[in-house]
Amino acid sequence: MANTKSAEKSARQAEKHRTRNVALRSRARSGLRKVTAAIGAGDKAAAGAAYREASSGIDSLASKGKIHRNKAARHKSRLAARIKKMK
């Protein structure tokens, strides 16, 4: 429990930030799942479209510092390679 006014405020802010971060991460993960599902279904066009959406979500997380930029690049690279490998 917070003992000072400033600690109470920072606790409120931390909760707001946590809620926002959870939503952003969830949106990015949903995008990744959509790409993976499209790859599994063998639909290259749908996978490409889903990849473009997921890529922007991942970049958004990285630019805000919610995930490391190398992790974002790794996710995007692996997805792009799987899409490129499709026939």
User: Left (φ > 0), alpha (ψ -120 to 50) or beta: where does 45 sit?
Assistant: alpha
Give every CB contact of residue 76 below 8 A, 6+ residues apart in sequence: 55, 58, 59
Distance from C-alpha of 53 to C-alpha of 34, rounded to nearest angstrom: 10
Domain ranges for the chain, please list them: 10-85
* The model's pTM: 0.82
pLDDT tens digits, residue range 14-66?
A: 999 999 999 999 999 999 999 999 999 999 999 999 999 999 999 999 999 99
Question: Residue 68: how many CB atoms within 10 A of its CB?
Answer: 11
So what's the pLDDT on residue 87? 78
10-85 maps to which CATH number?
1.20.58.110
Residue 1 has pLDDT above 90, yes or no: no
